[in-house]
Structure formats: C-alpha cells, structure tokens
Amino acid sequence: MSREEVDRGPHPARRWAGMAAAGVVTYVLVDVTLALLRPGLSLVHNPESDYGVGPFSWLMDLNFLLRGALTACLLVAIVRCWRPSPLGRLGVVLMAVWAGFSALLAVFPDDPLGTPATASGAIHLLLALVAFLGALVGTFLLSLAAGRLPPLQRVRGWLLALSVLAALPFLALLRAGFRADGPGGLYERTFLALELAWILVAALSVVREEGVSSAL
C-alpha cells in the first residue's frame, strides 16, 4: 500500500468512533431480539439484567460485554483527537468505569424478580449502580468539556441535554427500585437509552468531523 493510499484512509479516531456507533445499533438490536425471545419478562417491571438468567442468557452476557466495548471504542476515539482538560479527563475515567463495570455484569448474574437473593445478585446490583453513576456523571462532565473538543462542539447542546435528562430516570429508579408491580424496568431502560443515545451522537459527530477534516 502506498503512502498516498494510507493518507487517504479513514482517520484512526473516525474508525474507533464508527465502531462505537455500530456497537450501539447492535446492542439495541440484541435487546429487541431478547424481548421477542422472552416475552414473559416485562419491559416495564423486569430489569434488563433478568435476561442474563435462564434461556438465551448468553445473549445478554454478550450485550454486557458489547456495552463495555462500544464505550471503550468511543473513549479511544475521543483521546485520539483531543487532549482532555482535567474536567474532560475525569469524564473519560468515569466513562471507563461504566465500560469496565458493564462488562463485569456478564460474570455475575442478577437475581430475577421473585427469586432468592444471592451473592452474585448483590455483586451485580453493586456493579450496575457504580456503572450507572459513572455513565451519568461521566457523560455530563464530557458534555461540559465538549466545547474544547472540535469533533463534539457542534453537538454539545444535544450531549448536555441527554446527560441531564438521564438523571431523571436514574433518580426515579433509585426511588422505585425493582418490584413486580413497579416501573423499575422502564426507568432502567429509559436511562440506558439516553446514555446509549449520548454515545451514538458523540460517535457520529466524531465520524462526521474527522471525515470532513480528512477531506480538507
């Protein structure tokens, strides 16, 4: 391959961001597939993690790993095209916590609604809480710092709005918890949807901006 061909190839940050965006789409498709395969689990009452116990649990485990991987891809894209400020670095670290702890959820199955409590279920709940907090604060800090990151400047308002909105279902989930007659599953899915939307918007913005930069 010639040097000219290499130079015309996609920017490394763009490739990583593209993988993050593809990961978000794949994650949603797997979630929809699980909902169709296991209609007995309520989208309103049951947490997403309940798919990780019983039939097709391996598919939910793969999705936990995918959530960690797609987040890691976005973080690599960000640090490749930006030298973060202290605020941005903290945001990157917290999002890395979300990525790592999300992947660990595949190792410790939760306790589905109506089943006895186990050590694995307690660890799963703790990991999920830390992961959610990492994503909530991490996306907010990165949204604040996005003004100094050219690939994210155009979508800073969207990122900030998504990160703030995500606090509402998170707080509602903390208050409601997961009960057979409660909407905890809906709150959790809304929170995850907003965080994944944040990642998708950020990733597509990097793909677009880096693509424009490469063409100039």
The per-residue pLDDT for range 167-183, each reduced to its tens digit, is 999 999 999 888 888 89
Instruction: Please tell me which of 9-18, 97-106, 138-147, 172-181 the model is most confident about, judged by mean pLDDT.
Output: 97-106
Amino acid identity, position 70:
L
For the chain, the C-alpha Rg in angstroms (whole number) is: 18
For residue range 51-96, what is the model confidence (pLDDT) as tens digits?
999 999 999 999 999 999 999 999 999 988 877 778 889 999 999 9
- How many CB atoms sit inside 10 A of residue 151's CB? 26
Calpha distance 143→216 (Å, rounded) = 27
What's this model's pTM, rounded to 2 decimal places?
0.90
User: What are the φ/ψ torsions at residue 118 (nearest 5 degrees)?
Assistant: -130, 165
